Amino acid sequence: MKYVYHFSNGSADGSSEMKNLLGGKGANLAEMAKLKLPVPPGFTVSTDVCTHYYDHNQTFPDVLEEQVLSALKSVENEMGKTFGDEDDPLLVSVRSGARASMPGMMETVLNLGLTSKTIPGLIKQTNNLRFVYDAYRRLIMMYSDVVMEKAGGIEPEDGGGIRRRLENILDKHKESNGYTSDTDLTGDDWKLMSELFKEEIKNTLGHDFPDDPMEQLWGGVESVFRSWNGTRAVNYRRIENIPDEWGTAVNVQVMVFGNTGDSSATGVAFTRNPATGENKFFGEWLTNAQGEDVVAGTRTPNPLSEEIKTQDTEHLPSLETSMPTLYEQLAEIRTTLENHYTDMQDIEFTIQEGRLWMLQTRTGKRNGAAAIKIAVDMANEGLIDKKTALMRVNPEQLDELLHPALDPESENTATLLAKGLPAGPGGASGRIVFTANDAERWKSDGEKVILVREETSPEDVHGMHAAEAILTAKGGMTSHAALVARGWGKCCIVGCGALQIDLAKREIHVNGVELKEGDWITMNGTIGKIYEGQLNLIPSDPEKHHEYKSLMKWADEVRTLKIRTNADSPDDAAQARAFGAQGIGLCRTEHMFFDEERILAVRKMILADNTDDKRSAVMELLPFQKKDFKGILAAMENLPVTIRLLDPPLHEFMTLSDDQMAELAESVGVEKSDVAKRVAELHELNPMLGHRGCRLGVAYPEITEMQARAIIEAAVELTQEGKTVYPEIMIPLVGTVTEYQNQEKIIRSVAESILSETNVELNYTVGTMIELPRACLTADEIAEYAEFFSFGTNDLTQTTYGFSRDDIGGFLPEYLDNKILAHDPFQSLDIKGVGKLVSMAVELGRGVNSGLKIGICGEHGGDPASIEFCYSNGLDYVSCSPYRVPIARLAAAQASV
């Protein structure tokens, strides 16, 4: 069995197709090697080893050692250096690399191979004592943290582990020597630091720092595999839905150094702008630095080229002017990579003494606007076709375009606190919190928060996820905070140097203003401005985006699934229509009963003890309902509107205080005790499974009659005004065909009498919401009568799982943590269980009624995975909330592709 895959300049065992086995980084290193790009030689230990490691009580396959040693030998031969050699030692790095990108979530160890024996040789070779001891101290800091402490199973102490202790030693040394920056330290300083570090390690961790190069190498490799199950990585996988079984690969690669002097440099770049999608080579670099210096945001990096300079970076040197030949070479590589991968790439490079090395390429993360622009541009450039362009945008990313922005008027008059780098566009308001844990806690208490940090680290991911927006004092556009926020389409401002954060006091001082935990601020992530207080947000208008419009046009050309919206008011209907909705899939009528003018009639009905009184109370609602329906039908002229008859249990209309009971009793003319008695009667132990849905219509046929009358009269009047409307009357919560027949009879009889009286021809249909397992199981019986089905997958999920959505909070977190559920089934449709019922109902229903119109109107109607399921099961449409309509349009197009 082959576990180790070699790569070097011009050749490789692997390729970019082998991501599952080699991880993304390893596969792309192999691919770049084959493209003859300058990749430092190395080898990848496959994900199979990770699987083996966890399946076999954390041990490696027997043959692994031999394969690693053989691969290492090849690398040594290519480089003409030997690992652990006393005269000219080879140094290597170990880096993780999983199938899916998990930036910063796993461990890296650099400079492996430096020992008391190899250091003198390297100093001789490089003639640079400072560089060697700087490299050594970096090895010690990383290795002691990653390999000895974390992977060694040592619990870091409060206040940080060994790394923090070593940093303290360094800080003290700098302080006592009056140094302000790491660059101030001399070679001897670093040598001293190395000694002090090793002493501290021995005292704290109880072990000597390993001085054997092979021990270092194996320790590094194992620590990467162990970091696959570290807390950060596990949390990240939970958020991103990455299976635990995938495992990570480990890349062992010859070290190249961007920090050997001023002819060395390091940088990260995107082949196009990841925030806007602009076709400009976008990146940052630093001279005399290692890669981590750029990403960590500890030094403010320089712009890559002249054309991407901004007001803030104008004064900084670009690579283009500083090292024009190398820039030219890099720009050529950019073109090679884009042409080869036909997608925007995120690359890392290092220049060691005038020679360019490519350390990584991968498909670059981008925010929604950029994703759209890049996809549409590339299609227009002929690099990809339109269908590929459609697949390039994650439908959820459209959400960013649809997210609110700051109201310009309120922004104009607001108090500007500071300005930072616009790392994630859009607007957000929230209350200040200072730690990731606080963000998560406040969020779960229902607060909107903005997480404010010096800089973020992978440890903060859960809090960043919980926050409305992220604000950091340090870091650049490719800092951790910026990368993560862009991936999620979250508003984010980084590098706002004006912020003075006092974490202990939970205070910020910014340009003379003092802000405390819980204070409101508002951010405009598109331009990087931060304001005091809570400003108005306004919905964005995606129609302004030229590329968005192109993409949606292509999507509409491709997709066959129709997209409707769930809307209960003419305003919502109009908004959804503007977003491209092709009708209303669910118009709920219950909120129309709660209006103050109307609820008295509802309560009268509930209190009535005879049919006549019930009837006359219900009929008081007719004019109101008719007006409601006219408004909605008119807003959706020429498009179908599915109106659901009254659904909730009656007790929802009878939540009354003592005073209200007395008042109601008086206005209806009964005793207060009668009201109380009726309220008690309506109480149910499990209202979700109680007297609701069509069960109400059976018990109160006058409600069905009144609602049918209101709908049909509204439609008739609009027809008489020359409008074309398509009302679809939906009977809720049907479990047996007999319920359907009972209600349909009432509706048809009302409709036919109105239509024959008015002599109007109207295209109306009657159908049902399929939201109970029994409805799915007997869909053939129901479809003999119903003209349409609309899956109410919320309730269907409740009954299929036996989960009350209101009570699931008691055990869902535990279920997700224990992997008993892969995701919340109310968020994304459970294909295996609920989906099976849906498929069955479609098949049974269409079996007896081939013209049956079928849609879905639960929350799942806006979830891309669920939309794909609906498409592949032959549904006619999905219906979702107005703001998710564009997302659903794209998801439907992707399903078709």
Give contact residues for its own copies (rule: CB under 8 A): 684-691, 693, 695, 698-699, 733, 735-736, 738-739, 742, 771-774, 777-778, 781, 795, 798-804, 806-807, 810-811, 814-815, 818-821, 830, 832-834, 836-837
Dihedral sign for Cα 260, 261, 262, 266, please: positive
Residue closer to its own copies (CB basis): 169 or 777: 777
SS3 content of the chain, % helix, strand, coil (to 5): 50, 15, 35
| Angle at CA of residue 736, ends 730 and 742, nearest 5° | 60
Distance, in Å, from the CA atom of 538 to the CA atom of 542, rounded to the nearest integer, reads 12
Q: Which residues pair with 584 in a beta bridge?
A: 565, 641
The CB-of-619 to its own copies minimum distance in angstroms stands at 22
Do the beta carbons of residue 392 and residue 343 sit within 8 Å? yes
Q: Identify the DSSP state of 492.
A: E
Give whole-number Cα distances, 73 to 27, 70, 79, 251, 842, in Å. Answer: 21, 5, 10, 15, 61
The CB-of-389 to its own copies minimum distance in angstroms stands at 38
The CB-of-702 to its own copies minimum distance in angstroms stands at 14
Kindly state the tokens that stand for 712.
Answer: 């049909």
Q: Which residues pair with 879 in a beta bridge?
A: 564
The CB-of-825 to its own copies minimum distance in angstroms stands at 9
Q: Annotate 464-514 with DSSP letters as a single string.
A: HHHSSEEEESS--TTSHHHHHHHHHT-EEEE--TTEEEETTTTEEEETTEE
Kindly state the tokens that stand for 616.
Answer: 């006359």
Do the beta carbons of residue 227 and residue 219 sit within 8 Å? no
Residue closer to its own copies (CB basis): 527 or 820: 820
Distance, in Å, from the CA atom of 756 to the CA atom of 222, rounded to the nearest integer, reads 81
Identify the H or E element spanning 836: helix 834-848
- 525 burial level (CB within 10 Å; 0-12, 13-18, 19+): buried
The CB-of-686 to its own copies minimum distance in angstroms stands at 4
Residue closer to its own copies (CB basis): 495 or 825: 825
The CB-of-795 to its own copies minimum distance in angstroms stands at 7
Distance, in Å, from the CA atom of 881 to the CA atom of 788, rounded to the nearest integer, reads 20
Distance, in Å, from the CA atom of 744 to the CA atom of 742, rounded to the nearest integer, reads 6
Dihedrals phi, psi of 241, to nearest 5 degrees: 55, 45
Kindly state the tokens that stand for 246.
Answer: 């995938």
Kindly state the tokens that stand for 458.
Answer: 């992978």
Give whole-number Cα distances, 760 to 381, 710, 757, in Å. Answer: 54, 15, 8
- Which amino acid is it at 39? V
Residue closer to its own copies (CB basis): 522 or 800: 800
Nearest to 504, CA basis, from 468, 454, 439, 430 = 454
Residue closer to its own copies (CB basis): 192 or 848: 848
The CB-of-851 to its own copies minimum distance in angstroms stands at 24
870 is catalytic: no
Residue closer to its own copies (CB basis): 268 or 837: 837
Dihedrals phi, psi of 668, to nearest 5 degrees: -90, -20
Give whole-number Cα distances, 191 to 22, 137, 239, 385, 443, in Å. Answer: 37, 8, 42, 57, 47
The CB-of-891 to its own copies minimum distance in angstroms stands at 25
Identify the H or E element spanning 588: none
Residue closer to its own copies (CB basis): 322 or 804: 804
Do the beta carbons of residue 685 and residue 723 sit within 8 Å? no
Identify the H or E element spanning 630: helix 622-635
Residue whose pair of structure tokens reads 């541009």 in the numeric block: 377
Residue closer to its own copies (CB basis): 122 or 696: 696
Q: How far from the centroid of its chain's Cα atoms is residue 723's Cα? A: 42
Do the beta carbons of residue 540 and residue 404 sit within 8 Å? yes
Active-site position among 492, 857, 870, 880:
857
What stretches of 372-448 adopt beta strand conformation (E)?
A: 405-406, 416-419, 421-424, 427-433
Which residues, in sequence order, are CB contacts of 256 under 8 Å at separation 6+? 40, 350, 352, 357, 359
The CB-of-805 to its own copies minimum distance in angstroms stands at 9
Residue closer to its own copies (CB basis): 594 or 811: 811
Active-site position among 480, 545, 651, 860:
480
The CB-of-733 to its own copies minimum distance in angstroms stands at 7
The angle, 0 to 180 degrees and rounded to 10, between the axes of the packed helices 672-682 and 658-668 is 110
The CB-of-821 to its own copies minimum distance in angstroms stands at 7
545 is catalytic: no
The CB-of-745 to its own copies minimum distance in angstroms stands at 11
Residue whose pair of structure tokens reads 């206005």 in the numeric block: 667
Residue whose pair of structure tokens reads 């269409």 in the numeric block: 846
Distance, in Å, from the CA atom of 897 to the CA atom of 292, rounded to the nearest integer, reads 40
Kindly state the tokens that stand for 535.
Answer: 């400003």
Q: Residue length, the chain?
A: 897
Do the beta carbons of residue 877 and residue 852 sit within 8 Å? no
The CB-of-714 to its own copies minimum distance in angstroms stands at 29
Residue closer to its own copies (CB basis): 504 or 680: 680
Catalytic residue IDs: 480, 857
